[in-house]
Structure 1
Amino acid sequence: MLPSHSPGDSGYISRGTPVYRRVSIAFLAAGLVIFANLYAVQPLIPAFSSAFGRSPATASLALSASTFALALSLPVFASLSDWFGRKPVMLISLFSSSVLQFAVGLMPTFWTLVAARALEGFALAGLPAVAMTYLSEEMDSASLGFAMGLYISGNTLGGLLGRVLIGVAADHTSWRIGMMMFGGVSLILSAYVAWSLPTSRHFVPRRDGVSDILSRFGHAVTRPELDALYLVGGLLMGGFVSLYTYMGFRLARAPYHLSTSVIGLLFFAYLAGTFSSSFMGNLADRIGRHRVLPLNIAIMAAGAIVTCARDLAAIVLGMVIFTFGFFGAHSTASSSVGSLGGAQRAQASALYLFCYYVGSSVIGSLGGLFWADMGWRGVIGMILAAQVLASAAFLFARRKLRAA
């Protein structure tokens, strides 16, 4: 387990201090860069399907290729951060992914676009692979849950802005211009993070060989309570991506016929996640993660069911409820991994995010088959099945979370 860093401990960052606000703003900017660039293509998937003559499942590779490459590279960046430090790895990720985002807008064919997105996904991994570890090392224990929630709030804002702005760009200029614009803005925000984020004070370099690194991953993957949390993250994220991806196909058709920019505006439902991630993180600090995590899975299930309504207002309400529950669950599960990871916290965080993004890629593309064969109710049935499995997995972690 992590050592208990109380608010009075020297050198650890406490809520309410100037350095806490500085770190929070830096991570907000970093989350905007990573998650705006990662998810900007999501509202464009129906347009890719039409423009390139691809099926919904194939068109979804524009997103799945990047999330899958990101998942594969998370352990690499986690290990590099043990050698070279947390901040340098995060900055490499921010600057390289910003350049690649600009390049995506120049790709001439669907498959070159997918390849560029895969490279971008690899580069994007450096920040999420290290961010939770940086916060776990630098924050006192009483501030960690709220700080993690704020970081995830930045992720939701980045995901929201990426989807909304690219949708508007696609309707009024072109998605290519939108991608290149994102690349330029991302470089500016990356420079801000480089200037404002403090260097780690509690990082201790580890020059271990490959066998030592594999040993730490081995320890992080053979603990049932951590395995359960990895599975929870992957299952819930897969359902979340599926709901938003195939909602775009649903609302572009009769009887709604919504434009790409209007569909992009529906991602304002992400604001519910911006609130819930910090709110639920704070609640978990007070009443325990073992109570908050299953509550949020239940909220997700309720929201998924509400989206089966035909009325557009009810669909939006269901998306808001679902999003509120998802980001509350993710905030709670990710801070739980940081708390339980102990000496392998960097590897545990990387494995959690590996499963998180593999779930996004595999279940997200699988949802296209359910959409093609059974329509929206098939997608929701798949999502609810994933939530049942996540609830069952949670039972293996509950006892450890109660003691944490």
Structure 2
Amino acid sequence: MTIGVAAAGTASFALLYAPQPVLAQLAADYGLQPGGASLAVGVATGALALAVLPMALLAGFVGRRRLIVVSICVSVAIGLLLPLAPSYSVLLAMRALQGAAIAGLAGIGAALLADRLGRAGVAAAVGAMIAGNTLGGMLGRLLSGLSVDSLGWRGALAVVAGFSLICVVVTIIALPAAPAADAAVEPHGRRPSVWAGMRAAMRHPELGVQYAVAFLAMGAFVALYNVVGFRLTGAPFDLSPGLASLVFLTYALGAVSSAVTGVLTRRAGRRRVLIGALFVTAAGTALTVPDALPLVVAGFGVLTIGFFAAHAVANGWTAAAASREARGQASGLYTTCYYLGSSLGGTAGSVVFGVAGWSWLVGAVMLWLILAAVMAGWWGRSRPAAGTEPVTIRVNAL
């Protein structure tokens, strides 16, 4: 079960962010500005955000295991067809469908593990799933970035799709067949509680702050990663796309950061750690301004550490603050805002870079991060800071 879901996460998130390192090549091929090229990422993450909650509801009718298998098969099939897209508009339409398909795993993977493994085994299994998501996000970027020099962007995307196909085969073999109860429709008597939980998740101001933090911080993070390839392959660095893609190795630092955040949160409280993490992200962003490659790489390392820590705290805060009946809906809304931030913020940041350059992008991103920190601080002052209780952290991979 654990291997199957981890392999599904690896395939899904490799496909989701595979175009990010080749945006400069897409722009050159189709005559696009950075903002237009970034839509290759933005439409997929936006479609994922909008499809998370509908997919979670659909799983109650068709079964979680079946939905996951169908979703990843569809996303890989689209990935194999992407290099054949005859136009950029067709490519964007295919990416939107691919993002919606990936939502089938993103929205229900953890729930499937909890149902099948129970409390005793779910913690380790969810950790393995998160590791697969993280590994997939990094490998997808690296495989496409390292392949584009010799194969072009179409060949690079095909390489990622081929890798993901192998992962899907592993998933189909490893995931045990669903018991009959898994495909059962949710009892009618429980449906009103679902909508009551949704209302509670939307009206709670403490949860609203976490949704805003997810939107702003993720938008800032993806905006920087969307256009770093443009900056590093242009003057004054003039790196090859393959060398420029190595900056995505800093992404691995996020796994370490999110792993230790729980300990810091229990000691210092959620509010302090969240605000501190957002300012670390802003500090790393500021480091990237000088035209010095070591500082740019170091800055991306620091901002990645800060972002993943902030995301882990906000995600855990959402789970802790939501009532029992609203916990699932709150998690879904957090995930929706998280990927909407990726879509809208990532695209907006790319437009800023295309019009005004890197320094203006850094300024915009830092404003978003400061706004998120102010909101977190405002809520923390309005009530005693929580954080001494155990925190459940479920990190969505990028």
Shorter-chain TM-score above 0.5: yes
Cα deviation for residue 345 of structure 1 reads 2.6
The answer on 1:206 being equivalent to 2:182 is: no
User: Given residue 185 of structure 1, which amino acid in structure 2 is its aligned partner?
Assistant: F
Q: 1:69 to 1:143 in 2, by over 3 A?
A: closer
Superposed CA offset, 1:70-102 (max 9, x none): 111111012123444443333332222111111
Q: CA RMSD in A?
A: 2.9
The answer on 1:375 being equivalent to 2:357 is: yes
Q: In structure 2, what is the Cα distance between the partners aligned to 1:402 and 1:75?
A: 28
The equivalences for 1:43-82 within 5 A come to 43-82=21-60
Superposed CA offset, 1:150-176 (max 9, x none): 544433321211111112221112322
Number of aligned residues: 381
The equivalences for 1:185-200 within 5 A come to 185-197=163-175
Unaligned runs of 5+ residues in structure 1 are 1-21
> 299-308 or 372-381: which moved more?
372-381
Q: In structure 2, what is the Cα distance between the partners aligned to 1:42 and 1:349?
A: 26
Matched residue, 1:313: 294
Q: In the alignment, is the contact (CA less than 8 A) between 2:144 and 2:159 conserved in 1?
A: no
Given the alignment, which residue of 146, 149, 153 partners 1:168? 146
Matched residue, 2:325: 343
Q: In the alignment, is the contact (CA less than 8 A) between 2:254 and 2:305 conserved in 1?
A: yes
Matched residue, 1:359: 341
Cα deviation for residue 62 of structure 1 reads 0.9
The answer on 1:94 being equivalent to 2:72 is: yes
Q: In structure 1, what is the Cα distance between the partners aligned to 2:17 and 2:264?
A: 28
SS at match of 1:275: helix
Matched residue, 2:367: 385
Superposed CA offset, 1:162-218 (max 9, x none): 111112221112322332333333233123234435689998962449876544322
Q: 1:317 to 1:355 in 2, by over 3 A?
A: same
Cα deviation for residue 38 of structure 1 reads 0.5
Give TM-score, length-normalised by structure 1: 0.84
Given the alignment, which residue of 100, 107, 111 partners 1:122? 100
User: Given residue 93 of structure 1, which amino acid in structure 2 is its aligned partner?
Assistant: S
Q: In the alignment, is the contact (CA less than 8 A) between 1:297 and 1:326 conserved in 2?
A: yes
The answer on 1:254 being equivalent to 2:235 is: yes
Given the alignment, which residue of 83, 89, 93 partners 1:105? 83
Cα deviation for residue 335 of structure 1 reads 3.0
Q: In the alignment, is the contact (CA less than 8 A) between 1:153 and 1:273 conserved in 2?
A: no
Q: In structure 1, what is the Cα distance between the partners aligned to 2:127 and 2:358?
A: 31
The answer on 1:402 being equivalent to 2:382 is: no
The equivalences for 1:223-372 within 5 A come to 223-281=204-262, 283-284=264-265, 288-341=269-322, 342-372=324-354
User: Given residue 283 of structure 2, which amino acid in structure 1 is its aligned partner?
Assistant: A
User: Given residue 233 of structure 2, which amino acid in structure 1 is its aligned partner?
Assistant: A
Cα deviation for residue 27 of structure 1 reads 4.2
Q: In the alignment, is the contact (CA less than 8 A) between 1:235 and 1:386 conserved in 2?
A: yes
Matched residue, 2:392: none
Give TM-score, length-normalised by structure 2: 0.86
Matched residue, 1:17: none
Unaligned runs of 5+ residues in structure 2 are 390-398
